[in-house]
Amino acid sequence: MSMATMNIKDPAIHAAARQLARARGVSMTEAVRQAIQEALAKEVVVRDEAWVERILSLGRQTRAKADALGIRPLTDDEIYDERGLPR
């Protein structure tokens, strides 16, 4: 297995990684690994939140169009019989 390397030439990034490593009591490699994993996890949350908001927005748009057309949602009594089975 070959070992991938990173060659970061920005002194400010090196200093920040060193500071994070020192604050966390870990190596610079571990500090960078943790920071990248935390950033990726946050990206997933942001992407998931955007997806949920898009779905909710579509629901609101659909409801507004249905209301404008005088369409109302069916009630449970209209969907299910007295035994709880679909009509």
pLDDT-based confidence at residue 2 (cuts at 50, 70, 90): low
Q: Is residue 44 part of a domain?
A: yes
Query: How distant, in Å, are the alpha carbons of 13, 46, 49 from that of 61?
Result: 45, 22, 18
Domain assignment of residue 73, yes or no: yes
Q: What is the pLDDT of residues 23-44, one digit of tens each?
A: 999 999 999 999 999 999 988 8
Model pTM?
0.54
- Please check whether residue 86 is in contact with residue 79, taking contact to mean a CB–CB distance below 8 angstroms: yes
CA atoms within 13 A on the CB side of 40: 6
**Residue-number span of the structural domain to which 31 is assigned:** 11-79
Read off the pLDDT band of 7 (50, 70, 90). confident
User: Does residue 6 fall inside a structural domain?
Assistant: no
Classify residue 50: in a domain, yes or no. Answer: yes
Is 3 among the domain residues?
A: no
The type of residue at 9 is K
Domain count, the chain: 1
Q: 23 lies in a domain?
A: yes
